[in-house]
Chains A and B, each alone.
Chain A
């Protein structure tokens, strides 16, 4: 097990390196630089700025600086002037300075934006699980009844409504027509409790009122997917021999379903939880945009338009880390759900 985890962690290195290199090259290939939008900048000033971020260097040198830091550049290329640079390198946890938000490090920007997105994402994921799994289970147990048909139909409908539609419809009904909920905003502001959670003092009615619509807009689509997967895989599992054995030895129906069937049928659900978790926690631009939430989502989109090379690299790598990390957790969870799965 430990060996397996170590091997997987080592396997992350080439993947993350590939993503870093690919993004690094592609983002610099996009015409237009980070300072081009500032009209009327004297050429000397722009050159100074470019030099500050090492953008005047050849790309390979920039990449080494980004990855390993300026002191390594000085050692590798013999360019002692490089030691004056600020980059300490990705391997030492330094994402660099943002080119758009001057004097802010990418790490600082992420520290402010990630917790809000994470709170929203975790709540949406919980909502998706708490609606999706019971709904799928119920549909499978009552196969071909009206419960099954209704929930399967509802699942397809909610799968088909994109965020970009669900968010304005929710705003229209719940905020504009009924005036039940605030149109926009998020109830918690930094500093966050333990760096992620809303501070206990802001955990009041208002916080949850703000959260209802974005959480629903983000979570219902995933809930529908989870419900479909749960139904399909539970239908397969309850026909297996070991379920008949469990019934034959006189276990109650509840024990058969919850302990024996459900545990095995959750494997496909767990599989999609990995990417889902990464996507939800790192923010989704559309929902955050509609509800005026200052999360990480906007940085994914705006940093491309701003040509904010370092910020874009930072959020992309963060997302990739979440993705590979949660996929590893998923694989570990397989072994617990189905002891026949061995890690070797």
Chain B
């Protein structure tokens, strides 16, 4: 039996080769091995691509245009989704690949545009709450003492609030404010909001509530790092407090925070859908999956397809974010692995 022995140079080379992989690359290769997470990431990328297509490629129909002669129409293949007696009342039309809604608008392009809303809520709301939460929590934990005490009491206090009611009240306030005559800063904000179909205020309302959890995690991580030797060393070298906090501590704590934020994204998407469902989300006729579901609910007995299509995509999207968040957590923060 031939035994292949490595020469000294070869084994050294092997060790060097292993060493060359940074912590980030190690994590990335762990992530790539997680097939479900990779598929989820691909799905999200695909959805992003579709959202862009809907906006910039004109072969798809206008999501706002009404065809009043073809309301509630479906293509023939979709008949199996409807109740058994559907043939008696349903209109067939092959113009619309996924049918049309109760106002004769194309379901396909509305669904594609809906992806834009959900994805932009996922990205913007999580970015804002990550930013506020990290800065607040890091400052609180780093300064410590009475400042920390006061800042964390505020967080505890806000934590006791019924989240959903606060978000409903905030949105009700912002939306009613947007309908009033305004000037100055309000006028600017309202104009931004109107040009985004009501999304801007939605971002504000959702992220104003959600930074609280991030602040707690950020503070905890800063507390566990700020007595470490490298911080001591930075102090000894005369680095300023701000530099230590943002240059030395932040890169160490940001990983778990991003993971936690990814896992919070499904919650943001739910909140958007819920708010749109109760009429406090984006402004109609802006197509959002929540609005599509809520508009089609009255007709669910006759046209369940109009509810099921956005509902399916909403679930798939949150599912993908959940799987991706789990995968990121397992890959980048092995300590948190169950």
Contact = CB atoms under 8 A, between A and B. Distances in A.
A and B found bound together: yes
A156 B157 contact: no
A168 B304 contact: yes
Contacts of A319: 162, 165
Contacts of B270: 162, 164
Contact of A162 (B81, B176, B307, B314): B314
A15 B266 contact: no
A162 B273 contact: yes
Interface stretch (B70-78, B219-227, B317-325): B317-325
Contacts of B312: 165
A24 to B, nearest CB: 11
Interface residues of B, number: 44
B301 interface: yes
A168 B165 contact: no
A32 interface: yes
Given A31-B180, A168-B311, A172-B304, A156 B160 contact: no
B211 to A, nearest CB: 17
Most buried by B among A22, A176, A232: A176
B198 interface: no
A324 B157 CA distance: 12
A30 B172 contact: yes
A159 B315 CA distance: 9
Given A157-B319, A162-B314, A176-B83, A23 B165 contact: yes
A114 to B, nearest CB: 16
Contact of A160 (B165, B277, B319): B319
A177 interface: yes
A231 B338 CA distance: 8
Given A159-B322, A164-B273, A286-B274, A304 B300 contact: no
A304 B293 contact: no
B124 interface: no
Contacts of B273: 162, 164
A323 interface: yes
Interface string A295-335: 00000110011000000000010011001100000000000
Contact of A300 (B168, B297, B315, B321): B168
B308 interface: yes
A27 interface: yes
Nearest to B311: A165
Interface centre among B165, B290, B315 (most CB of A within 10 A): B165
Interface string B157-176: 10011101100111011001
A285 interface: yes
Given A26-B169, A165-B315, A156 B274 contact: no
B157 A316 contact: no
A235 B83 contact: no
What's the dominant secondary structure at chain B's contact region? Answer: helix
A97 to B, nearest CB: 21
Contacts of B83: 176-177
Interface string B283-301: 0000000100100010011
A176 B304 contact: yes
Given A18-B157, A26-B169, A300-B164, A160 B318 contact: yes
A286 B275 CA distance: 10
A161 interface: yes
A308 to B, nearest CB: 12
Contacts of B278: 285, 301
A22 B160 CA distance: 12
Contacts of B297: 168, 289-290
B158 to A, nearest CB: 9
Contacts of B33: none
Nearest to B271: A162
A286 B307 CA distance: 14
B160 A324 contact: yes
Given A156-B319, A161-B315, A168-B297, A323 B160 contact: yes
B162 A304 contact: no
A206 to B, nearest CB: 20
Interface in A134-180: 156-157, 159-162, 164-165, 168-169, 171-172, 176-177
A2 interface: no
Given A160-B319, A161-B315, A162-B315, A31 B308 contact: no
Given A15-B157, A23-B165, A304-B172, A169 B301 contact: no
Given A159-B322, A316-B162, A316-B165, A305 B300 contact: no
Given A164-B293, A177-B83, A30 B274 contact: no
Contacts of B169: 23, 26-27, 30, 304
Given A160-B322, A286-B277, A15 B160 contact: yes
B335 interface: no
Contact of B307 (A27, A168, A324): A168
A30 B173 contact: yes
A19 interface: yes
Contact of B300 (A19, A162, A168, A320): A168
A227 to B, nearest CB: 12
B228 interface: no
A183 interface: yes
Most buried by A among B273, B277, B279, B326: B277
B177 interface: yes
Interface of A: 15, 18-19, 22-23, 26-27, 29-32, 156-157, 159-162, 164-165, 168-169, 171-172, 176-177, 183, 231-232, 235, 285-286, 289-290, 300-301, 304-305, 316, 319-320, 323-324
Given A31-B179, A285-B278, 10 more contacts: A159-B266, A160-B319, A161-B315, A164-B274, A165-B293, A165-B311, A168-B307, A172-B81, A289-B297, A305-B279
20 contacts: A18-B160, A19-B160, A27-B169, A157-B319, A159-B322, A162-B273, A164-B274, A164-B293, A165-B293, A168-B307, A168-B311, A172-B307, A172-B308, A176-B304, A183-B301, A285-B274, A300-B164, A304-B168, A320-B160, A320-B161
